[in-house]
Amino acid sequence: MSDVIVIGAGVVGAACAYYAARAGLDVTVVDRGPVAGGTTGAGEGNVLVSDKEPGPELELAVLSSGLWRSLAEHVGGFEHEPKGSLVVAETAEVLDRLAGLAAEQGVEHTVVAAADLRDHEPHLADGLAGGVRYPQDAQVQPMLAAARLLRHGADSYGRGALSLRTGVTVTGFTRDGDRVTGVRTTRGDILGDAVVNAAGTWAGEVAALAGLHLPVLPRRGFILVTEPLARPLIRHKVYTAAYVTNVASDNAGLETSAVVEGTPAGTVLIGASRERVGFDRTTSLPVLSRLAAQAVALFPALREVRAIRSYCGFRPYCPDHLPVIGQDPRAPGLWHACGHEGAGIGLAPATGHLIAQALTGARTDLDLRPFRPDRFPAKESA
């Protein structure tokens, strides 16, 4: 019997397992697929404070940014790049809005005048009005991050403190009255004092197995990957102000905005698109063409660079754009760590850290009430 069962071996589940093991709890992680086989494996690896509105999610992002830096030092092996972001504006009006948001956020930033943009990014297009640089922003390799957290948690905090079981599908929950006491799986029951639902885009389906309404929906996004470049072209994560607007949007239709960054391998990652189309993985050439055009408009030198592949993933979207973190009062013993949309990689350490604090009865570093699982209206019956 485990102290904690974590459903999901993506980066959020891995962080929950790591911090729980570090807190002295015995943890079993189960996933129907491989480590990072879902949304984590289709992410860019964003660790951002720059795109968050002031409020609970920004507080979570600031906490997580510091935890990623600590993990890079003490765990390592996941390509943590503290390269910062440069958010650019096409007009003076948009630059004023960006500067105003940065001031409200209260995080470290620098407003960059148009004449100084190329000091930060020499290959940017002409005609931009300026930008805001956020030095706290970073990037990690998400699949490596999930794998390293699980491995380090298993190796460093007592023999058998963290075990991983892949190819195991959760089919239901065991209960003692209203209390959840474990999971039913295709490989038999696994009992535990607590169960953490970190199933990403499928977290709503997992919650439904317990008879609970949790409105986590898939929001599809595509990423283009270029051929490796002989010399780095882009120094920061660079994106336009439209990206901030799209992150906060409730629109179910297609939205795209230019997001461009390099990787240690020399490739350039180009995003970002958002649309709610269920779990449809069909490659959309019109979306990829739009992403390519937006990237070339921002960095004209990319016109001569070949795109070698694309991939898509599904962000776990909640209607109020906040993740779900904490114990579910409707089913004591069941905890949730999900619904982070496109910020799950960046917010994973803070989520795991807070879950572990709450599981052990410690005072949490942040107030979990804004993330409570029962904040959504009950689903109406048909």
Q: DSSP assignment, residue 33?
A: S
Q: What residues of the chain score a pLDDT lower than 50?
A: 380-382
Where would I find the H helices in 215-343?
241-247, 285-298
Counting beta carbons within 10 angstroms of the beta carbon of residue 249, is it exposed (0 to 12), middle (13 to 18) or buried (19 or more)? Answer: middle
Q: What is the pLDDT of residue 382?
A: 37
Q: Is 304 left (phi over 0), alpha (psi -120 to 50) or beta?
A: alpha
- Angle, CA 155 vertex, CA 153 and CA 159 arms, to 5°: 100
182-209 b/e (C-beta count within 10 Å ≥ 16 → b): bbebeeeebebbbbbbbbbbbbbebbeb
Residues 6+ apart with CB under 8 A from 272: 44, 221, 223, 239, 243, 246, 256, 257, 259, 291, 342
Tens of pLDDT, residue by residue over 154-184, are 998 866 789 999 999 999 999 999 999 999 9
Q: What is the pLDDT of residue 196?
A: 98
Counting beta carbons within 10 angstroms of the beta carbon of residue 159, is it exposed (0 to 12), middle (13 to 18) or buried (19 or more)? Answer: exposed
DSSP letters, 153-214, are HHHHSSTTSEEEEES--EEEEEEETTEEEEEEETTEEEEEEEEEE--GGGHHHHHHHTT---
Q: What is the pLDDT of residue 248?
A: 58
Torsion angle in degrees (nearest 10) through CA of 195, 199, 201, 202: -80
**Per the confidence metrics, is the pTM higher than 0.85?**
yes
Task: State the Cα–Cα distance between residues 195 and 37, nearest whole angstrom.
Answer: 20
Q: DSSP assignment, residue 108?
A: S
DSSP helix/strand/coil, 111: strand
Q: What is the pLDDT of residue 352?
A: 98
Strands 138-139, 307-317: parallel, antiparallel or unpaired by DSSP? Answer: unpaired
| Percentage above 70 pLDDT, the chain | 96
92-117 b/e (C-beta count within 10 Å ≥ 16 → b): eebbeebbebbeebebebeebebeeb
Verify cis geometry, omega within 30 degrees of 0, for the bond prior to 272. yes
Tens of pLDDT, residue by residue over 95-115, are 999 999 999 999 999 999 999
Strand order across the beta sheet in which 237-240 lies? 110-113, 130-134, 85-89, 237-240, 255-262, 268-274, 217-226, 307-317
